């Protein structure tokens, strides 16, 4: 299932290829790329079996690798200047956490009875870590895709997605949904993916960026609450389901509940669980409505939905943070911005902004200035290009 890739971000690809040659003293056999993702709308809905609207972007993880004749694995993290070597039969967690993602993949392969030999790899990325663009999912998907090719394991793309997600759940310990891995593996140039996270049916929607651009503003902060609160949100949603099931036994997840049902049981849910369920049932509907707007070419309506999502994430789901709220607030009076919201798991990372193309320069300038004045932190801005998903660079 090799895939010819368009030659994008070649400088990072070359950098990793060269770093491999320098570290291992010979050229790598193969080179693979897995992109990060954006998500236009549908946040935290994946683990509630709702809908999401992500796309894979022009920032990615690259793995250069070759098989070995023994059972040794050597991982060279180019961007960290660190190397970790181990035997395939010893997947114990090392002191440093950076190899967890790769070990998680090998752990999954073993648990599922896939046999591979040793290999050596150099990897690195141009994907900002901690920016909420799924650098960890990209890392997992890239290695698994590469090993699938190298050792001819016969996994299809969906199997890769599911196994990479389980690596994150079981080995890394983050109970993430399926969106990030799906977007990284199934991404398609100039398209967003509407994914039903229950059936895993998906549809590509053309998203040509001509008059408007998607711009990410990177707060450059990642508050430590991120992964613990993520797992807490999942539990809160499950607690909501358990209560609502008393009144509607066929509810399996918040996907099956309506905002009216949540409202009717507000008192019993309690204030916190009520707010989580309210946001979730509304957001799942909002993604569907937003897709309709997109199909009709109504980007103004679509942008308004992005703001509603942010408001819900800020006040009801409570996964935003001061810096994200500040950046979104800044855009509200700007008629060149159709929509803005925090993106991803929250507690830091990026906002995603739908901005009139001819005003992007101006937008970035005022955001950078205001952010620096408020927090003393430079604000990287990324103009996103939607590219193909995971594949081999030939
Ligand atoms: C993180 C998770 F990994 C995703 O599964 C998703 O839940 C997202 O947060 C929030 O929408 O990126």
Q: How many CB atoms lie within 10 A of CB 260?
A: 8
- Tell me the pLDDT tens digit for each residue of 313-345: 999 999 999 999 999 999 999 999 999 999 999
Q: What is the pTM of this model?
A: 0.95
Q: What is the distance in A from the centroid of ligand 1 to the CA of 189? A: 21
pLDDT at 14: 96
> Is 134 in the same domain as 187?
yes
Asked if the model's pLDDT at residue 129 lies above 90, the reply is no
pLDDT at 9: 44
Mean pLDDT, the chain, rounded, equals: 95
- What SS3 class is residue 174? coil
Q: Which of 275, 287, 285, 286 has its CA nearest to residue 314?
A: 275
Tokens of 168: 């994150």
Distance from the CA of 345 to the center of ligand 1, in angstroms?
5
Q: Are residues 22 and 155 in the same domain?
A: yes
Q: With a cut of 80, say whether residue 1 has pLDDT above it.
A: no
pLDDT digits (tens, 9 = 90+) for 272-306: 999 999 999 999 999 999 999 999 999 999 999 99
What is the number of structural domains in the chain? 2
Residues labelled catalytic? 180
* Candidate from 137, 173, 230, 254 with most ligand 1 atoms within 8 A of CB, to mutate: 230
> Which tokens hold the place of 54?
């992500």
**What is the distance between the alpha carbons of residues 68 and 118, in angstroms, rounded to a whole number?**
5
Indicate which atom in ligand 1 lies nearest the CA of residue 178: 5
For residue 287, give both structure tokens: 């993604």
pLDDT tens per residue, range 199-254: 999 999 988 778 999 999 999 998 877 678 999 999 999 999 999 999 999 999 99
Q: Is residue 47 within 6 Å of ligand 1 at its C-beta? A: yes
Shared domain check, 200 and 71:
yes
pLDDT (tens digit per residue) in 179-211: 999 999 999 999 999 999 999 999 999 887 789
- In this structure, the answer to whether residues 198 and 64 fall within a common structural domain is yes
What is the ipTM metric for this complex? 0.99
Name which residue leads in pLDDT, 46 or 175: 46
In a shared domain, residues 110 and 243: no
Q: Is 51 in the pocket of ligand 1 (CB under 6 A)?
A: no
Say yes or no: 189 and 221 in one domain.
no
What is the residue range of 112's domain? Answer: 3-208+388-392
Is the CB of 46 within 6 Å of ligand 1?
A: yes
Q: What is the CATH number of the domain that holds 245?
A: 3.30.70.890
Among 165, 255, 345, 351, say which to mutate for ligand 1: greatest number of ligand atoms within 8 Å of CB: 345
**pLDDT recorded at residue 2:** 44
Question: CATH code at 176?
Answer: 3.30.230.10
Cβ 177 under 6 angstroms from ligand 1: yes
Residue 164 has pLDDT above 90, yes or no: yes
């Amino acid at each position: 299932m090799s895939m010819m890739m368009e030659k994008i971000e070649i400088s990072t690809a070359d950098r990793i290829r060269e770093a491999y040659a320098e570290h291992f003293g010979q050229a790598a056999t193969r080179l693979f790329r897995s992109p990060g993702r954006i998500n236009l709308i549908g946040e935290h809905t994946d683990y509630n079996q709702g809908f999401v609207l992500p796309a894979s972007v022009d920032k990615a993880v690259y793995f250069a690798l070759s098989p070995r004749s023994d059972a040794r694995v050597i991982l060279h993290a180019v961007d960290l200047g660190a190397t970790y070597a181990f035997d395939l039969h010893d997947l114990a967690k090392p002191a440093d956490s950076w190899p967890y993602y790769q070990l998680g993949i090998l752990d999954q392969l073993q648990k599922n009875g896939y046999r591979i030999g040793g290999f050596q790899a150099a990897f690195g990325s141009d994907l900002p870590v901690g920016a909420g663009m799924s650098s960890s999912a990209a890392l997992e998907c890239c290695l698994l895709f590469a090993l699938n090719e190298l050792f001819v394991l016969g996994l299809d793309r969906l199997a890769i997605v599911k196994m990479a997600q389980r690596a994150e759940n079981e080995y890394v310990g983050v109970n993430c949904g399926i969106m990030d891995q799906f977007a990284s593996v199934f991404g398609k140039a100039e398209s967003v993916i509407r994914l039903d996270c229950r059936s895993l049916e998906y549809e590509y929607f053309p998203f040509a960026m001509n008059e408007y651009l998607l711009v990410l503003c990177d707060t450059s902060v990642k508050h430590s609450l991120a992964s613990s609160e993520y797992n807490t949100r999942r539990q809160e949603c499950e607690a909501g389901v358990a209560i609502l099931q008393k009144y509607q036994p066929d509810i399996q997840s918040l996907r099956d509940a309506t905002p009216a049902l949540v409202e009717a049981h507000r008192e019993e849910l309690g204030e916190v669980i009520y707010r989580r369920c309210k946001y979730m049932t509304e957001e799942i509907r909002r993604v569907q409505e937003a897709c309709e707007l997109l199909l009709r070419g109504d980007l103004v309506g679509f942008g308004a939905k992005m703001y509603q999502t942010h408001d819900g994430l800020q006040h009801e789901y409570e996964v935003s943070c001061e810096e994200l709220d500040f950046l979104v607030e800044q855009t509200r009076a700007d008629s060149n911005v159709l929509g803005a919201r925090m993106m991803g798991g929250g507690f830091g990372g990026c906002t995603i902004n739908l901005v009139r193309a001819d005003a992007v320069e101006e937008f970035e300038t005022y955001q950078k200035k205001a952010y620096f004045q408020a927090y003393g932190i430079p604000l990287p801005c990324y103009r996103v290009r939607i590219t193909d998903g995971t594949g081999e660079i030939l």
